[in-house]
A and B are shown apart, each in its own frame.
Chain A
Amino acid sequence: MPRWGMVIDLDRCIGCGACVVACQAENNVPINTEDVYHQRRAIAWIRLERYWEGEFPNVKARYIPVPCMQCTNAPCEPVCPVYATYHTTEGINMQVYNRCIGTRYCSINCHWHVRFFNFWEPKWPDSLKNQLNPDVTVRSRGVMEKCNFCVHRIVKAEQKAKVEGRALRTDEVTTACAQACPTNAIVFGDLDDPNSAVSQLLAQAEREHRVYRLLEDLGTEPNVYYLKKVDVEATATAAEAH
């Protein structure tokens, strides 16, 4: 049984937003109109955050892509009154749209703010509906949605492997964001497979002491690993704060 995980190398990330658009294209995320931004209800299963450091002229802008962390001990799961959010056997934190009744407890309990509520029926002009991915459910108004590591791609690959009577090959499946990422900053794969790209990358980065997880101290055991940004001008405080 694979254990899916993701490694995001912040030293490679250039903040281009290819992952954001690729995710929207793959997962039928509704168009974030200007109104949606005004209301702070934009949906982005993976988003690009920018953090400032210092003051002009010694100022730095740091990028970090934030998908769902797929926590092993996910704080969003126990608060759901209807078990709409649950953990799959492969380590993915799933949202079951049919069960969701829209209490939004999960989004309140998520420290990374990666769960999004459909405040409206998602709408597209008729012609743009031709682009919608038939493998992914178009969510309706009143349900939560979130990154699920492109689970439809995983399920498809697993079904294909099953039909062909074999096990899933190493790195046979990848997420839309990792596929698009032009700098290869995002890598997806099976953390339990020592030959997978994520495992190899993690092992190497571990030796360089670059691995960390976002809000790791909360003890939720996220399955998304970040590799630290490397900077020749790294300030003493930032470098020490491990």
Chain B
Amino acid sequence: MRRRDFLKVAATSATGAVLFAGCGRIGDGVPETEFKIAQPVYTPNDWAFGRDAWFATAAPPDQGGYGLIVRVFEGRAKKVDGNPDFPGVLGKSDARAQALVQELYHPDRLAGPQRAATRGSGQFQPISWDSALQEVAQILRDAGGERAVLITTRPSSSQAAIIAAFQRVTGIRHAILEPDELVVLRSVVRRLFGVSTLPIPDLANASFLLNFGAEFLHGWIAPVQLARAYGEFRQGRPGQRGLYYHVGPRLSATAANADRWFPIVPGTEGLIALAIANVLLTEGAVPRDRFAPYFAALGLDEARLTNDYSPERVATTSGLTAEQIRDLAHALVEHEPAVVIAGTNAAASTNGLFNLVATLGLNLLLDSLNQPGGLLLNPEPPLPELRIMDDAILTQRQWAELFQQIQSGAISTVLVYRANPVYALPPATGAAEALRAAQHVVSFSPFVDETTQLADIVLPDQAWLEQWGLEVPDPGPGFAAVAVRQPVVQPFVDARAFGDVLIQLATQLGQPLPWASQEEATKTLALQLRRLGRGNIQAADDKQFLVTLQAQGGWWDEQSRGSGTVPSSPVVQPREPSFAGDSAQFPYLLVPYPLPSIGYGELAHLPWLQALPEPISTNVWQSWVEVAQRTADELGLSTGDVVRLITPQATVELPVYVNPAGQPGLVAIPFGQGHTALGRYAEGRGVNPLTLVAPENDSDAGTLAWCATRCRIEKTGRRARLARFEGMVPAFQLEEFPIVRVMAPSA
């Protein structure tokens, strides 16, 4: 290169660099970044001080219904946190509560009422609220109450009051869709302790916790309350650390926190509990008179317990040793106070009802009911209107009957509110076929889920942060508590609260409800709380009461505690678990499990939760099959290999995750994925395990036993990329240099 050329190049490049850099000036030039300041027409409430405001509201009913606070800035909800005043949670929250803002601002939220182009096409056209309401009112008028059914998820307490009033004027049937494990749990608590509300273990004061499978720290009945208490249980009392033993088939996210994990054959929880009772009885560790209600509930007597359920006999079926069972029994009486909880997997076997009765019944033997550090019973909701009717919660068997009725034409009109039976019930239940056969399907869901896809008309509900309501946390903190839900922002889209729509429909039908809106219903019910003349709020008049209620986020009365009865008649007979599929053909047991983040799939549309790694496998955004290390070695599998998972019901191909803590003989698969609708973040990912499990019922409870199917796996030879947080090499602690340092408890 000659000198002249070099200079030319140098000059051009220097000049070019300057010109290039000079193209943009800060905030200018690029239209998107051109700064505009909007001058609003009216001052929004929260602009009054130009600062952010925190408003109190409540968590959704299926997430615990506890008190929340939401940070609002310039009319937009920014951040959700726990209400520091609300009993039980005291300012704490979980990932699901944090993600509530994503429900509010979800890009796939329905912006207003829609009509399906043709049913099932998934194509909707916007219509006006007036015409939509008229149309639905006409449908209800034509069908009449007895030929219509309203399927909802667990409603908030004030929604339950509105639904009850709507039922009174229209005669419509109400059916609540809840996860099967909760249906079993509610039924057991009702029959064993004589209360309709769920109890809460007083972990903060307990010394020993024995847990049969309940995912109590990851999305079970009251994850935040229980997690907060768990912190106190472990390190909240100087010099005293609670001890936690976990009995269950998987080392789940919750089980990983246990001091000892007892891997068992799924469904044998109840038998183990009987063996523990056997040890307690034969060793005389607890007073004999405590056994009477336990025997009564299980239809047992002393002789049968001592003869049939010795640790040695149970050991062979359960996968534990007799010594381990004795250890469990001894731990229960050595550490006072002790409490026993059970749920999730334990409730999802063919003997789920028995499992829960036998395990939760151990609390009767320990005399831990309503004792500090024991199982606290919660009182009934302070107002009868706020009660959610148990008989509306259907079991799998009842759902199948209901869908039969719809298909036969006995029920012509189906209203669906936030429930997603097409996804959340196994295909054999016939939800999809029934909805296709129904004359009219009206959905009130804010998202187009699998069920809403089959609707003719959608009248979308508001997001939880946009509406009014009262919420009785179930389980409560051990005493009466009500959280108030208030809109923290102006409605973001042209949706209407479900309660408002029911009230407007009733008005159209010429039978107005006692309230003009969901807001009025909430406030009327709240003022009834004031009439009770107790609780935390001192107010001179109604207005002051409501203002204080909204500011504090709730009403609670620590004096109002629950009381129950002991069982006197048999609830259930002892029963061994059974599994669908021939054990020669299907050598492994399939253990599905709910994800800590997206649960049974109802939250799969929220990207933060989808992107939150499952704690044990650290997998995200998809489905996978968990195989034990030993099984993987036998089959020559490694993480990322695609296998064919075959059950008597279906065959799917999924990538493998080799779990070092997996129990040989078990294959685990997470719930939550496999959506064909529910928005861009949920659709087309993974597999819904409900399509894999055999439609086995718990013959006592009538619920689906999703943990009672055998399966086999075949190598396909292909590999898939697993989206996960951990690398492909499992992170084991180095013995000489552990990341998580562990110490033995100081004496």
Point out residues on A near B: beta carbons under 8 Å: 9-12, 14-18, 20-22, 24-26, 31-34, 37-38, 40, 42, 47-53, 55-57, 59-64, 125-134, 176, 179-185, 204, 208-210, 212, 214, 226-235, 237-239, 241-242
Given known A-B contacts A61-B616, A210-B743, A230-B744, A18 and B260 have beta carbons under 8 A apart: no
Chain A residues near B73: list those with CB within 8 A. Answer: 133-134
- Within 8 Å of chain A (Cβ to Cβ): is B81? yes
Q: In this complex, which of B89, B662, B685, B742 has the most chain A Cβ atoms within 10 angstroms of its Cβ?
A: B742
Residues of B within 8 A of A12 (CB): 230-231, 234-235
Question: Does A57 lie within 8 Å of B263, measured CB to CB?
Answer: yes
Q: Check B254–A14 contact: CB distance below 8 A.
A: yes
Q: Give the distance to chain B from A22, nearest Cβ to Cβ, in Å.
A: 5
Instruction: Contact check, B732 vs A53: say whether CB atoms are below 8 A apart.
Output: yes
Q: Which residues of B contact A59 (CB under 8 A)?
A: 251, 261, 660-661
Question: Complex: how many Å from CA A214 to CA B741?
Answer: 9
Contact in complex: A25, B608 (CB < 8 Å): yes
Query: Taking CB as reference atom, which chain A residue is nearest B79?
Result: A25
Inter-subunit contact B106/A239 (CB<8 Å): no
* Chain B, residue nearest A226 (CB): B741
Give, as a whole number of angstroms, the nearest-CB distance from B150 to chain A. 29
Task: Output the least CB separation between B325 and chain A (Å).
Answer: 15
* Chain B interface mostly: loop
Query: Contact between B218 and A214 (Cβ–Cβ < 8 Å)?
Result: no
In the complex with contacts A34-B621, A134-B74, A184-B231, A56-B628 CB distance below 8 A:
yes
B661 pairs with A56, CB closer than 8 A? yes
B91 part of interface (Cβ distance < 8 Å) = yes
Q: List, in ascending order, chain A residues with CB within 8 A of B611's CB.
A: 31-33, 37, 42
Query: Taking A9-B235, A232-B243 as contacts, is the C-beta distance between A56 and B664 under 8 angstroms?
Result: yes
**B residues less than 8 Å from A49 (CB atoms):** 731, 739
Provide the bound-state CA to CA distance between A182 and B615, in Å. 16
Q: How far is the CA of A126 from the CA of B621 in the complex (A)?
A: 22
Do A182 and B78 form a contact, CB below 8 Å, given A239-B742, A239-B743?
no
Is residue B138 within 8 Å, beta carbon to beta carbon, of the partner chain?
no
- Distance of B412 from chain A, by nearest CB (Å): 37
Contact residues, B464-479 vs A (CB, 8 A): none
> With an 8 A cutoff between CB atoms, is B282 at the interface?
no
List of B residues within 8 angstroms of A24 by Cβ: 608
Q: Is the CB of B106 within 8 A of A128?
A: yes
* Nearest CB of chain B from residue A215's CB, rounded to whole Å: 8
Which residues in B have their C-beta under 8 angstroms from that of A185? 231
Give the CA-CA distance A55 to B743 in the complex, in Å: 19
Beta-carbon nearest neighbor of A26 in chain B: B79
The closest CB in chain B to the CB of A133 belongs to B78
Bound Cα distance A176, B95 (Å): 12
Sample of 6 further A-B pairs with CB below 8 A, known A33-B621, A63-B256: A14-B227, A50-B616, A127-B106, A127-B107, A180-B81, A232-B260
Q: Which of B629, B733, B740, B746 contacts A55 (CB 8 A)?
A: B629
Chain A residues with CB under 8 Å of B74's CB are 134
- Does B613 interact with chain A (Cβ within 8 Å)? yes
- B607 — which chain A residues lie within 8 A by C-beta? 31, 33
Instruction: Kindly list chain B residues whose C-beta atoms are within 8 Å of the C-beta of A237.
Output: 735-736
Neighbouring A residues of B740 by C-beta, 8 Å: 10, 51, 62-64, 229
Which residues of B251-281 are within 8 A (CB) of A? 251, 253-254, 256-257, 259-261, 263
B742 contacts which of A37, A62, A180, A183 (Cβ < 8 Å)?
A62
Interchain CA distance A241-B733 in the complex, whole Å: 12
Whether the Cβ atoms of B741 and A229 lie closer than 8 Å is yes
How far is it, in angstroms, between the C-alpha of A51 and the C-alpha of B261 when the chains are bound?
16
Report the minimal beta-carbon distance from B386 to chain A, rounded to whole angstroms.
26
A132: B residues at CB distance < 8 A: 78
Q: Is B655 an interface residue (CB 8 A)?
A: no
The chain A residue sitting closest to B255, CB to CB, is A61
B47 at the interface (CB under 8 A from A): no
User: A17-B596, A183-B231, A239-B742 in contact; A232/B259 too (CB < 8 A)?
Assistant: yes
Are the C-beta atoms of A242 and B95 separated by less than 8 Å? no
Is B597 part of the binding interface, using a Cβ–Cβ cutoff of 8 Å? yes
Q: Is the CB of A238 within 8 A of B78?
A: no
Let me know if B739 and A51 touch, CB within 8 A: yes
21 A-B interface contacts by CB (under 8 A):
A15-B615, A18-B94, A21-B95, A22-B79, A31-B608, A32-B611, A34-B685, A37-B620, A51-B731, A52-B661, A59-B660, A59-B661, A131-B101, A131-B102, A133-B79, A182-B223, A183-B228, A230-B241, A233-B260, A237-B735, A241-B735
- Please determine whether B731 and A180 come into contact, CB atoms closer than 8 angstroms: no
Across the interface, do B109 and A127 meet the contact criterion of CB distance under 8 Å? yes
Please give, as numbers and ranges, the residues of chain B lying within 8 Å of A47 by CB-CB distance. 725
Closest to B244 in A: A232
Taken together as a complex, chains A and B put the C-alpha atoms of A132 and B217 apart, in Å, by 29
Complex: how many Å from CA A40 to CA B620?
A: 12
When the two chains form their complex, are residues B743 and A52 in contact, meaning their CB atoms are under 8 A apart?
A: no
The residue from B76, B95, B109, B628 contacting A20, defined by CB atoms under 8 A apart: B95
Q: Is B169 an interface residue (CB 8 A)?
A: no
Within 8 A of A (CB), among B697-733: 721, 723-727, 730-733
Taking CB atoms, residues of chain A closer than 8 Å to B724 are 37
User: What is the minimal beta-carbon distance from A206 to any residue of chain B, in angstroms?
Assistant: 13
Partner of A209, one of B91, B94, B743: B743
- Collect the chain B residues with CB atoms within 8 Å of residue A40's CB: 727
B628 contacts across to A, CB distance below 8 A: 56
Q: Is the CB of B731 within 8 A of A56?
A: no
Chain A residue contacts of B260, Cβ below 8 A: 232-233
Bound-complex Cα distance A77 to B73 (A): 34
Q: Which residue of B lies closest to A66 (CB)?
A: B739
A56 to B238, CA, bound (A): 33
Answer yes or no: B163 CB below 8 A from chain A CBs: no
Asked, given contacts A49-B731, A241-B737, whether A56 binds B630 with beta carbons under 8 Å apart, the answer is yes
A38-B721 in contact given A63-B615, A127-B105, A239-B742 (Cβ < 8 Å): yes
Is the CB–CB distance between B609 and A21 below 8 Å? yes
B106 touches A25 (CB 8 A): no
Interface residues of B in 210-229 (CB under 8 A from A): 217-218, 223-224, 227-228
CB contacts (< 8 Å) of A238 on chain B: these are: 733, 735, 738, 741-742
Query: Contacts of B235 on A, CB cut-off 8 Å?
Result: 9, 11-12, 227
Can you list the 6 inter-chain pairs with the closest CB atoms, starting with the nearest?
A183-B231, A125-B107, A182-B227, A62-B740, A61-B256, A37-B723
In the bound complex, residues from chain B placing their C-beta under 8 Å from that of A179 are 81, 91
B92 on the interface (CB 8 Å rule)?
yes
Given A63-B615, A241-B735, check contact A16 B105 (CB 8 Å): no
Q: How far is the CA of A134 from the CA of B73 in the complex (A)?
A: 8
